[in-house]
Structure 1
Amino acid sequence: MAPGLPAAMTRPHFIGIGGAGMSGIAKILAQRGAAVAGSDARASATVAALRELGVSVHIGHAAQHLAADASCVVVSSAIRPDNPELVRAAELGIPVVHRSDALASLMQGLRPLAVAGTHGKTTTTSMLAVSLTSLGLDPSYAIGGDLDAPGSNAHHGKGEIFVAEADESDRSFHKYAPEVAVVLNVELDHHANYASIEEIHESFATFAARITDGGTLVVSADHEGARELVRRLPEGLRVVTYGEAADADVRVLSVQPQGLRSEVTVLLDGAKLTFTVSVPGRHYALNAVAALAAGVALGVPAADLAAALGTYTGVKRRLQLQGEEAGVQVIDSYAHHPTEMTADLEAIRGAAADGRIVVLFQPHLFSRTQQLGTEMGTALALADASVVLDIYPAREDPIPGVTSELIIDAARAAGADVTAAHGGEAAVDLVAGMAKPGDLVLTMGAGDVTELGPGILSRLSSLSK
């Protein structure tokens, strides 16, 4: 199946084209034949990959970067109203399209499978993309992170399935109308856009209500927030639950750690099914079961999909090994919410053997730190030692009184060995000086802390000589 190009998307201009979500949409449009252009604040490997597809990318934001004949301007919620290209679009009368609308238009005529949840979206979407591809179904997909090489976060496939990561942070997932929707968990996050857990519940209920007639909601039976979502839904929607709970439709009977892998046994339609998950941690095993249930809901044979899930070996920034020097492994983790931090630290603890876990953590967003700083500090107590950087602001302005000290104080109160670092160079020196042979170092957070991993490896190498 080869869906056509939406009329408004023939010559799109993306503001912030190098972002995880934006770049994937731009790539698919380019693969479908659109004349794609855009701008980003800085050059990156993702920008380079887009240019190789023929996409015109300007570095920096300026009014003259927007061509007068652009068919639309695509933005994310991170683009501020005073962006010069956005201002120029208004002057020229060029339509402005949110990235969620652009993604929704790409799903038309296909069988959309949308993955939502406070945590685990990127991993579960990636598992589905990889496994369905390995089965020869050639799905289209748009993921919030690269599978391996830069630009591998999206693909225009010839198959009828479109797998998409559905972002709840700005309610943009309300734009999709999936045949199958996955909700992994429902927790309070994105405090700049949601004032309460009640608003979160309402938002996920709106998303679930957009499932097409005859479609399926795949939802966790273990997570109370997800169960609450089911209680709020009208009768008539087909719901398939998964998890370790006794009443789960796809019940997890066991998760057996095997080094950096797990062997998972589930009960599905009255039959036991055992398969391998090639990444460590119970939470990743449960993500794989969610992917299994979702694929089966689309009609993919369970046994085939279970075997194919074993071909997934991880996505960038999700417990990704960056390298090893002087007997120390450096692993990158995107975890930035306390639940994610706890899950990744517990997963790594199971693979650490006798070594210590040393974390370099960068808090992400002032609003998240204000609301969840205590819980972040408690999570860091699971490590043997931690270094905490200043808050990565992303799209936010500072909030008076909100600093990394909130996390550090909470971590120390929980008995953690934690040190503050102001600046990447100081952090690299601290972590490299702390790490000993056999230790695992985690660079953790959703900001640019990932860029410090190579520096830690280099410093470890020089210290060992």
Structure 2
Amino acid sequence: MQQKHSLPELGRVHLLGIGGVGVSAVARIMLARGVQVSGTDAKDLPVLRELAQLGARVHVGYDAGNLGDVDTVVISSVVKDGNPEYDEARRRGLRILHRSEGLAAAMDGDLVVAVAGTHGKTTTTSLIAVMLRHAGLSPSFAIGANVAGLGVNAELGEGRIFVAEADESDASFLNYRPDVAVVTNIEADHLDHYGTAEAVHESFHRFAGLLPEDGLLVCCADDPGSHALATRMRRERPDLRVQTYGFSDAADRRLVDASADGLRYGCDLEWGSGEEGSLDLAVPGDHNLLNAAAAFAVGLDCGLEPGEATRGLAAFSGAARRFELRGEAGGVRVYDDYAHHPTEVLAALRAARAVAGEGRVHVLFQPHLFSRTREFWRAFADALSLADTALVLDIYPAREEPLPGVTSALVADALNTAGGLATAAGAPERLAGIARPGDLVMTVGAGDVTEAGPAILAALAGRA
């Protein structure tokens, strides 16, 4: 078990990579708690000015002198040896905490709702935060994306509930101490860290094991990994309250009769002994109904009436880069989605099909990480083949070096639909030449493919 830190003992805190969505969230919460905060990022980003206005001392460009007289340094997993501030902190023997440890300290004393899962955790965390805020509970939250209904990705509320997205990618979610844990699904991913699928599942088991006596574990019955975790925890921890949700008959809270109504997407919800309600969402897809069902379970546990919970969920309008509408030109709508695992890509394209109706779906996909492409290239191709056209960009390397024989051609050559390899420069014109009024275009991936949206819209406008 990791050492638990309290916020007062951290003293003055300096955050490396303070412009990143995860680290900036920690900075916002610490500033709101009255902590003296400083930080550095390699780029001059708009969020740095926001943090400076909140009272942070912010630097652009890493330099050992930026540390000043800080007591604690907070880092993300991407900070490595060779960063002059990290190296200086180690030389001086300063306390160095992972971002998750810093957030855990900032959440100490609150009722913590931690949302984990291979997919859907950002949306589910956002749904819970919007629902609780809509009901007047004023939750605190820290989320891996900006959320339209919240305004920011992190905020200190006036209530005692803290909702946090719990990232499993580097097992840092084991640094939290949740009172309520949501596990949306468990699949093999981040094998560059874990090595095996079995290690991924074991990490989630350890996460669920962090719950205290009478803690609540909410799991998806439709996902084999999450369902297996619920079954295992019911056996090993009878002191826990374990609830499941899904379209499956085995779910404690069951979704039925999903359907689209214009841009709304909904279903009926049944639970308990004859109790029922309905979900009506502004975001499409069965996967989002599942996310909302998880949020609903948390809402009831936080004391909401069923109607309060569903009304709050209906107010959710989406999170950044989660089926986000970027605009429309020439009768073609352009969306952006962060999907970077085959299951996520398939869910995004199914949602696109539902929204497009009689129109066609065209996707510009950018694989993320060489290791993930090596493991899942065929599954990516199968998922992308749901589109009418799939263009594939070069792999976004992020933190990785190239692997021999691993290129985007693995995905493109296995497609069972029109498309193939594309360049960032040429893709917008290609898509504009293919799409016609009523069609839908999506940019998909966790890299810089998101930057293609405006160029696609401009090309569509030019053709129109």
| Common fold: TM-score over 0.5 | yes
Which residue number corresponds to residue 259 of structure 1? 262
Q: Which amino acid aligns with 1:200?
A: V
Question: Hey, what's the Cα distance between the residues in 2 that align with 1:79 and 1:436?
Answer: 45
Equivalences for 1:123-138 in 2 at 5 Å? 123-138=123-138
1:366–1:396 CA contact under 8 A, matched in 2: yes
By how many angstroms is 1:99 displaced? 0.7
Gap regions ≥5 residues in structure 2: none
Q: CA deviation at 1:179?
A: 1.0
Structure 1: tracts of 5 or more residues without a match: none
Deviations 1:76-102 (A, max 9, x none): 111112211100111222211111111
1:437, 1:398 → 2: CA distance? 39
Q: State the AA in 1 paired with 2:187.
A: E
Deviation at 1:404, TM superposition (A): 0.7
User: What's the CA shift for 1:407?
Assistant: 0.9
Cα distance in 1 for residues equivalent to 2:364 and 2:250:
39
Are the aligned partners of 2:191 and 2:197 in contact in 1 as well (CA < 8 Å)? Answer: no
Percent of aligned pairs sharing the same letter: 47
Q: Which residue number corresponds to residue 436 of structure 1?
A: 436
Alignment partner for residue 303 of structure 1, among 303, 307, 310? Answer: 307
Which secondary structure does the structure 2 equivalent of 1:192 belong to? Answer: helix
What displacement does 1:452 show?
1.3
Instruction: Give 2:454's aligned residue.
Output: 454
In the TM superposition, residue 426 of structure 1 has moved relative to its aligned partner by: 2.1
Contact 1:333 1:444 in 2 (8 A): yes
Cα distance in 1 for partners of 2:307, 2:10 equals 39
Preserved contact between residue 282 and residue 317 of structure 2 (Cα < 8 Å):
yes
Q: Is the 8 A contact 2:13 2:73 kept in 1?
A: yes
Q: Does the 8 A contact of 1:264 with 1:277 survive in 2?
A: no
Match of 1:330 among 334, 343, 367: 334
Mapping for residues 92-241 of structure 1, pairs under 5 Å: 92-148=92-148, 152-233=152-233, 234-236=236-238, 237-241=240-244
Q: CA deviation at 1:331?
A: 0.4
Inter-partner Cα distance in structure 1 for 2:462 and 2:64: 46
User: Which moved further from structure 2: 27-36 or 340-349?
Assistant: 27-36
Task: After superposing the two structures, state which structure 1 stretch, 330-339 or 82-91, moved more.
Answer: 82-91
CA distance in 2, matches of 1:439, 1:266: 32
* 1:394 aligned onto 2:398: yes
Instruction: Give the drift of 1:210.
Output: 0.3
Match of 1:282 among 248, 263, 286: 286
Q: Which amino acid aligns with 2:229?
A: L
What secondary structure, in the 3-state scheme, does the structure 2 residue paired with 1:355 have?
A: coil
| 8 Å contact kept, 1:180–1:298 | no
Q: Give distance in 1, aligned partners of 2:194 and 2:147.
A: 30
Q: CA deviation at 1:353?
A: 2.2
CA distance in structure 2 between the aligned counterparts of 1:51 and 1:452, rounded to whole angstroms: 30
Given that 1:24 and 1:151 are in contact with CA atoms closer than 8 Å, whether structure 2 keeps it comes out as: no
Contact kept, 8 Å, 2:6 with 2:108, in 1: the verdict is no
SS of the aligned residue for 2:55 comes to coil
Q: State whether structure 2 residue 408 is matched by structure 1 residue 404.
A: yes
Matched residues, number? 456
Which amino acid letter does the alignment assign opposite residue 367 of structure 2? P
Distance across 1 between alignment mates of 2:10 and 2:429: 48
* Conserved? CA contact 2:362–2:431, under 8 Å: yes
The 3-state SS of whatever aligns with 2:194 is: coil
2:379 alignment partner, one of 375, 378, 381: 375
Question: Is residue 145–residue 153 contact of structure 2 (8 Å, CA) maintained in 1?
Answer: yes
**Match for 2:276 among 272, 282, 285?**
272
What is the aligned counterpart of 2:247 among 244, 249, 252?
Answer: 244
Separation in structure 2 between the aligned mates of residue 12 and residue 274 of structure 1, nearest angstrom:
45
Instruction: Return the alpha-carbon distance in structure 2 between the equivalents of residues 5 and 31 of structure 1.
Output: 15
Contact 2:135 2:304 in 1 (8 A): no
Give the C-alpha shift of residue 463 in structure 1.
Answer: 2.7
Q: Distance in 1 between matches of 2:175 and 2:306?
A: 29
Query: How far apart are 1:440 and its partner, in Å?
Result: 0.7
- The alpha carbon displacement at 1:445 in A equals 0.4
Greater Cα shift, 146-155 or 399-408: 146-155
Query: Hey, what does 2:422 align to over in structure 1?
Result: 421
Question: Which residue of structure 2 aligns with residue 48 of structure 1?
Answer: 49
Structure 1 Cα separation of the partners of residues 355 and 271 of structure 2: 29
User: Deviation of residue 149 (structure 1)?
Assistant: 9.1
Return the letter of the residue paired with 1:37.
Answer: S
Comparing 223-232 with 368-377, which one deviates more in the overlay? 223-232
C-alpha root-mean-square deviation of aligned residues, in Å?
Answer: 1.7
The CA distance in 1 between the partners of 2:212 and 2:153, in whole Å, is 26
Cα deviation for residue 11 of structure 1 reads 2.1
Residue deviations 1:409-463, cap 9 Å, x none? 121xxx21122123x2222232223222221110110111111111111222223
Of 43-52 and 179-188, deviating more is: 43-52
Give the conservation status (yes or no) of the 8 Å contact 2:282–2:314.
yes
Q: Is the contact between residue 251 and residue 267 of structure 1 (CA under 8 Å) also seen in structure 2?
A: yes
> Could you say what secondary structure the match of 1:369 adopts?
helix
What's the TM-score, normalizing by structure 1? Answer: 0.95
Counterpart CA distance in 2 for 1:215 and 1:454 is 45
* Secondary structure of 1:114's aligned partner: strand
The amino acid across from 1:445 in the alignment is G
CA apart distance, 1:61? 2.2
Structure 2 counterpart SS, 1:318: coil
Aligned counterparts of 1:45 and 1:388: Cα–Cα separation in 2:
30
Conserved? CA contact 1:181–1:294, under 8 Å: no
The CA deviation at 1:140 is 0.4
| Displacement after TM superposition at 1:151 (Å) | 7.1
Deviation at 1:150, TM superposition (A): 10
1:7 matched to 2:11: no
Q: Scaled by the length of structure 2, what TM-score is found? A: 0.95
